[in-house]
Amino acid sequence: MRASIAALCFFIIFLAGCDRTHQNTQEKKVPWLSLCPDFSQTGKAPVEQNAQCGHFDVKENPQNPNSATIPLNILLLPAVNPVPEKDPLFIIAGGPGQSAVVVAESIHSIFNDVRKNRDIVFVDQRGTGKSNPLDCEFETEKSQQLPESEQQAFARQALAQCIDKVKDHAAYYTTNYAVADLDAVRAALGYEKINLWGGSYGSRVVLEYIRRFPAHTRASVLDGVAPVAIALPWSMEADGLASLEGLNQQCAQVPACVTSYGDIVKKAQAVSNKLVKEPKSITIPHPRTQEKINVSLSAEDFSSVIRLALYSRDLSSLIPRVISEAEAGNYELFASLIYLAKSKSDMAGISYGMHYSVVCSEDYPLYKDKNALDSNVFLNALSVQKYSEVCAQWPRGQLPADYWDSIKSDLPVLMLSGAGDPVTPPRWGELVKKDLKNASHLIVPGGHHIVTSEGCVAQLITAFIVSGDAKALDASCVQNIQPLAIHLPVSAIANTESTSSQSNDQTTLEKKE
């Protein structure tokens, strides 16, 4: 009995010690971190009840001790385990220009299994979210309702105002400064090594971190690989067209789809050419408020909506119907999809001052001397011309001489790609993999842009973070993530069911005979 009591007392003391360890781990003895504001302060619940928020100060220009100090907005979700692993997972958002802390609201639960034993850290990259954001508004819902010429005038004025706002700062908001910030945050939080997950442009940040700070990198996940070689937006039109052609091939394998929609690539080009000659203006109920609004529809709007819908696995199934209805002169579904596609895109909530500071300094130099006409293959999008017009005026930063060199590493890397991705398709992952000796590249057959939330992918990420060995993963489950069925008109579905029923009746009759 005494032995049992002694053992029980020891167990209680041990638990108390664990609690103290947990408390120290949670607080991390970092003066600039505290519990995130609750509902009474913000009007909404924090991401997690024990989430910690804070601002870590860095110099805008690290080379100048007299430079202005800017805050980096941090969200830390402590591990569930009271004695967590020492290497957390840092989440890097895309865009470029997205806020990681805002993205956390919708994606943090995807990493719940990782969080059982590791802290999860979200850092707003400088120029985004609440990290001294370089926000510029190039369009509004009201400007979208203006005639095309007036929209262009609005955008030109907004660009001039934005350049004036960022001209003295833009040079310090490129990826190389962002990775230096990340490492400073790592050190301030007391981590020796970290794991990283980067989505889309975030994968570029992770790759650059691997290059600059290999000693502090344990394992990395790249979802939607976007190396500097992608030269945004030079490759976007070819990759977007390939994604649309893939959807067309999927339709071609279903007789009811072919009967209903035909060749959607040809139809899409016909719609785009028609809108180039004659933009449309229609009145529709707003998808959220149902208020009647006027929407001006141009060829640029059409190509943008189709490409953004291709980002999404679910919205892509609507594209053949949208294209066919527009080709028949019905633009209501197309106009409604504008709002849905933009909300699903990784370009939603972008800090455009930071976006152009990155693209104009890092990507534009790779194509500024090329013929922009060579890239114009996707529905009159003219992406390169539009970016070139901005970047020719945008203040640019000085990057390290080796910045455009491929990144070589033997650190463990798990790369993820969606086969239907219109902006970071698998070919970019394959390009990067050539110089990563310890990398594995998983291609999700039914995936589009960013596949971490699809099927078993989150479980594979957890297994990889635990083991640190991408090549040892049994990733056969990703083959079960197939493209969603293309949305068919009710009449086509009825005819298909009727034909199927007749076929079954005939088979039954033949068996009886």
- Say which residue, 226 or 298, is predicted with more confidence: 226
Do the domain assignments include residue 346? no
- Mapped onto helix, strand or coil, the DSSP state of residue 16 is helix
pLDDT digits (tens, 9 = 90+) for 69-100: 999 999 999 999 999 999 999 999 999 999 99
Please give the sequence-ordered ranges of beta strands (E in DSSP) within 173-287, or none if there are none.
Answer: 194-199, 217-223, 280-285
d(CA 103, CA 123): 10
Residue 368 falls within a domain, yes or no? no
CATH of the domain at 65: 3.40.50.1820
What pLDDT is recorded for position 339?
67
Q: What is the pLDDT of residues 254-310, one digit of tens each?
A: 999 999 999 999 999 999 999 999 998 888 877 667 788 777 788 988 999 999 999
pLDDT of residue 485: 95
- For position 295, what pLDDT does the model report? 77
Closest alpha carbon to 320 in 256, 224, 236, 235: 256
Peptide bond into 96 cis (omega under 30): yes
| Residue 209 in this model has a pLDDT that exceeds 60 | yes
How many structural domains are present in the chain? 1
Q: Report d(CA 78, CA 57) in Å as an integer.
A: 21
Q: Which residues contact 219 (CB under 8 A, 6 or more apart)?
A: 195, 196, 411, 412, 413, 414, 464, 465, 468, 470
| Mean pLDDT, rounded, for 357-366 | 97
For residue 5, is it within any domain? no
- Look at residue 511 and tell me whether its pLDDT is greater than 60: no
pLDDT at 490 over 90: no
Render the burial of 128-148: b for 16+ CB within 10 Å, e for the rest: bbbbbbbbbebeeeebbebeb
Continuous segment of H or E residues that includes residue 57: strand 52-59
Q: What is the pLDDT of residues 363-377, one digit of tens each?
A: 999 999 999 999 999
* Of 165-174, 441-450, 488-497, minimum mean pLDDT range: 488-497
Query: Does residue 325 lie in a domain region?
Result: no
- What tokens does 161 get? 């105002």
Q: What is the pLDDT of residues 396-412, one digit of tens each?
A: 989 999 999 999 999 99
Confidence of residue 349 (pLDDT cuts 50, 70, 90): confident
Whether 263 is covered by a domain: the verdict is no
Average predicted confidence (pLDDT) for the chain: 88
Question: Which pLDDT band, with edges at 50, 70 and 90, does 337 fall under?
Answer: confident
Instruction: Give the per-residue pLDDT at 213.
Output: 98
Per the CB < 8 A criterion, the answer to whether 316 and 449 are in contact is no
Model-level pTM greater than 0.85? yes
Q: Is residue 333 scored above 80 in pLDDT? A: yes
Cα angle at 248 between 246 and 254, to 5 degrees? 115
| Residue 334 CB contacts under 8 Å (≥ 6 apart), including other chains | 297, 302, 305, 322, 325, 326
Q: Which residue type does 154 have?
A: F
Identify whether 139 is part of a domain. Answer: no
Which domain range does residue 83 map to?
31-133+194-227+412-480
In a domain, residue 162? The reply is no
> Measuring CA to CA, which residue among 98, 331, 319, 299 is closest to residue 200?
98
Q: How far apart are the first and last CA of the chain?
A: 83
Tell me, yes or no, whether 281 lies in a domain: no
Helix, coil or strand: residue 196: strand
Q: Tokens 């050190």 — which residue?
A: 187
* The pairing of beta strand 292-297 with beta strand 194-199: unpaired
- Report which of 379, 276, 339 is spatially closest to residue 145, judged by C-alpha positions: 339
